[in-house]
Chains A and B, each alone.
Chain A
């Protein structure tokens, strides 16, 4: 009993110690940001690898999610003769919840794991140590551009996911089940509030993006420099990143839309 209690205590302390390490790591990166602003090419390069290279999976997933949403909405609403409201359901669901959440999950799986693997490999092949000995700060040169690029890419990817999802819903609603095109677009426009729906969704995506890249970059930097350690770090990025997205989504939804 006492042993179990001790073990639990040790684990809790270890979690907080790691959280402290991650926070110090983030602080070091933030301190290098002013210098990084003078080197926009570094950020643009990372925007390409974290943002542009994630675009395909976001577009494909967004299209299918929008189509499924429209189809499910039709099956439910047609019983009440309210199938004209498909667009309202598709657009609100995408903007408030599914847009940022699914983009976040895909981003953690695609860009997050790639970031961890890349930085972990740089560590295990002594490239980061090599940079330090060349008097080049890897925090500024490697970590900060990746954090900033992920932070910028995530809301853009979310916007693309939402747009493609709405188009996917349009395909099913208008060309699939025969909803009048004008009704689809006008209701979508009428029922969506720019601030409470679209902006809240974008704020969520910014928070998710920041947390995912923070986890991904820290896990890579803190990974054990072996093939097993690198695999574990990559897995932790996807698991922790995904759980953080889902947990934060509840918290943000409660703050934005509820009275909690």
Chain B
């Protein structure tokens, strides 16, 4: 479904991705994991055409995302849904109108039909009763679920989740984990989950890419990664504070620093 080939991307002099290639197959949950600041969210923006790679290609169903005209890119985005880390809900309209917004913009459906569609989407995330609330009245977990309902409003074929579990309480996290998995199955979606929450992501993913320093350092099924002998993978999966990724930021020895005037 998505093919990324030899893609490089830099911000100023900092290289974010260096010649990476990966595939996101149809109907599966693919996870992109890695430490904070490795460019996981940037990868989603590159797939969505919001950023342009320095070299290489990103294709969705054979269409090179970055060679499309503006009009064609917007057509392609109708087939993508994206859950932003912040939710990105429009703050001046209520929950119902947030879900109805993309439907009203892109279709000429009757308002009564739009109402039914919105209520079905909200029911899928368990927030039908919260339709009249404003985004400022929602908890973090509820806002993510509303954003999830909005991401599937246009019945996309692929949904990208940007850090869906960050900052969630255990109950909300459990709800989100179940929702991502169940929506993927019931709606036959292709899901891309960007996260650094290891247990939750391992529990729902079919395939995982581990990214660090602009490269894919490991990939495989959750079981393969759990059993990997690579010390970097083990440190990341087990959440060890020290290892190949050092606890201390590069600095001179402590004693030397302390004795310095």
Contacts and interface: CB of A to CB of B under 8 A. Distances in A.
Interface string B99-124: 00110011000000000000000000
Interface string B183-194: 000000000000
12 contacts: A125-B86, A125-B91, A126-B84, A127-B91, A129-B45, A129-B88, A133-B48, A133-B82, A133-B84, A136-B102, A137-B74, A141-B105
Interface string B15-56: 000000000000000000000000000000100101000000
A137 B89 CA distance: 16
A127 B45 CA distance: 14
Contacts of B101: 134, 136
A176 interface: no
Contacts of B48: 132-133
A130 interface: yes
A133 B50 contact: yes
B75 interface: yes
A134 B105 contact: yes
Given A125-B91, A127-B91, A129-B50, A134 B86 contact: no
Given A126-B86, A127-B91, A129-B88, A135 B50 contact: no
B90 to A, nearest CB: 6
Contacts, number: 51
Nearest to B105: A136
Contacts of A137: 74
A135 B78 contact: yes
Interface of B: 45, 48, 50, 74-75, 77-78, 80-82, 84-86, 88-91, 101-102, 105-106, 150, 153-154
Interface string A98-134: 0000000000000000000000000001110110111
A171 B89 CA distance: 51
B74 A135 contact: yes
B91 A133 contact: no
Interface string A159-191: 000000000000000000000000000000000
Contacts of B81: 133
Interface residues of A, number: 12
Contacts of B89: 127, 130
B88 A126 contact: yes
Contacts of A127: 88-91
A135 B75 contact: yes
A103 B172 CA distance: 51
B77 A133 contact: yes
A134 B103 CA distance: 10
Among A133, A135, A137, A141, which residue has the most Cβ atoms of chain B within 10 A? Answer: A133
Contacts of B77: 132-135
Contacts of B84: 126, 129-130, 133
List 6 tightest A-B contacts by C-beta distance, closest first.
Answer: A130-B88, A126-B88, A135-B77, A133-B82, A134-B102, A135-B74
A130 B89 CA distance: 8
A135 B77 CA distance: 5
A135 B102 contact: yes
Contacts of B75: 135
B106 A135 contact: yes
A226 B86 CA distance: 14
A56 B48 CA distance: 44
A132 B105 CA distance: 12
Contact of A134 (B45, B50, B154): B154
A132 B82 CA distance: 10
A48 to B, nearest CB: 13
A30 to B, nearest CB: 14
A126 B151 CA distance: 14
A141 B153 CA distance: 19
A222 to B, nearest CB: 16
Interface string A134-159: 11110001000000000000000000
